[in-house]
Structure 1
Amino acid sequence: MHVYSAREDQVDKLADLAGAAFENYPLHTAVKGLLAEPEKFSDWIRDLHGVMIRVFVRYHTVLVLEDQGKILGVALLNRRPPGLLEYLRYCRPLLGYMRFDRLVRFFSFTEAADSVVRKASDFQWFLTVIAVDPEFQHRGIGKLFLERGIEGYIRSHGGGCLAFITCTPRNAQFYSSAGYRIVGEHSVSLDGNDVPVWSFEKVIV
């Protein structure tokens, strides 16, 4: 297995992987009520990650985990969480799913999810997404990607404090077992859908 920086010609393939990995993620499923056609939720999640990956390829870091020519995972890493305006510049593919005002509400919702970690952690690195192909989940690949790939990349760039959020108890337990410290717990709400948020950090040396 090896980790490398993504190329622009990989965006669609990486979006397919990330979309499948996050199809049941509470922070994303909360948006279903905003979609003009809720049955297209799977397409929305894929295209949402396509937008995110395009932003990160251009302005931040996209890491790819590959083994024998098969892409197993993707991670979006940056020095600061992208702001709302940064995403909106690339949001045209998403406007086919919902009105612009609803899209702004969704991105504001995700920014609210990041609000506690931004205040509680003096981070130098922020992990916006780590996704493993669902076919290869629960095999230790996520931990390998996190420790050798993402943390290894940070070490090779001088180290520093890595922070991120997660919205499921299972993920929170996983990150705690990997040596990450909880710096905050809160919840965010979108149209009556309450989503728990755990904020984590770890100093990578």
Structure 2
Amino acid sequence: MHVYSARPEHIDKLAEIAGAAFENYPLHTAVKGLLADPEEFPNWIRDVHAVMIRVFARYHTVLVLEDQGEILGVALLNHRPPGMLEYLRYCRPLLGYMRFDRLVRFFAFTEAADSVVRRESDFDWFLTVIAVDPSRQHQGIGRRFLEKGIEGYVRSHGSGRLAFITCTPTNARFYSSAGYRIVGEHSVSLDGNDVPVWSFEKVIE
């Protein structure tokens, strides 16, 4: 099992993995009502992650987790959460799913989810996405990816404080067990859908 920087030919596969991994994630399912056709949500969440991966490949870091030639996971890592304008430059594929004004609302919603960690953590690194192929979850792969791959990357690039958010109690327990500290809890709301947000950090030495 090894981790390396993504190449352009990986984008479609990584977007499929991330889209499938986050298909039931509260921060994303809250957005279904903004779609012109809610039945298109699985395709939309895949294409959202394709946009994110392209942004990160251009401006930040995209890590690939591979085992025996099979791509199992993806992580998006940066020194600061990307701003809405970075995403909007690449958003054309998403306009087939929702109007531009609704797309802006979606990005504002996700920025609100990041607001507490931005304020409470003096982070050096921000983990925007970590995703493992759903068919390979619950096998310890995510923990190894986090501890050996992502933390290892941070360690090899100067170390520092790593922060991120999550929106499920199960994930929050997982990160706590991996040595991450909660720096804030809040919730965000979109059209009556309230989503809990836990903000975490850990000093990687």
TM-score, normalised via structure 1 length: 1.00
Aligned-residue RMSD, C-alpha:
0.3
Q: Note the alpha carbon deviations across 1:16-45, whole angstroms, 9 max, x for none.
A: 010000000000000000000000000000
Aligned position for 1:42: 42
CA distance in 2, matches of 1:75, 1:146: 9
**2:78 alignment partner in structure 1:** 78
Map of 2:102 onto structure 1: 102
Give the superposition deviation at 1:8: 1.1
Aligned partner of 1:86: which letter?
E
Aligned to 2:125: 125
Equivalent-residue separation in structure 1 for 2:52 and 2:170 (angstroms):
24
Runs of 4+ aligned structure 1 residues displaced above 6 Å come to: none
Aligned partner of 2:53 in structure 1 is 53
Equivalence for 2:18: 18
Q: Which position in structure 2 is the counterpart of 1:116? A: 116
Aligned residue in 2 for 1:157: 157
Query: Which residue in 1 is equivalent to 2:202?
Result: 202
- 1:84 and 1:165 map into 2 onto residues whose CA distance is 17
The runs of 5 or more residues in structure 2 that have no matched partner are none
Q: Percent identity?
A: 84
- Distance in 2 (CA, whole Å) between partners of 1:177 and 1:162 is 15
Report the TM-score when normalising by structure 2: 1.00
SS at match of 2:165: strand
Structure 1 gaps of 5+ residues are none
Offset of residue 163 of structure 1 = 0.2
Offset from partner CA, 1:28-75 (integer Å, 9 cap, x none):
000000000000000000000000000001110000000010001100
Amino acid at match of 1:147: E
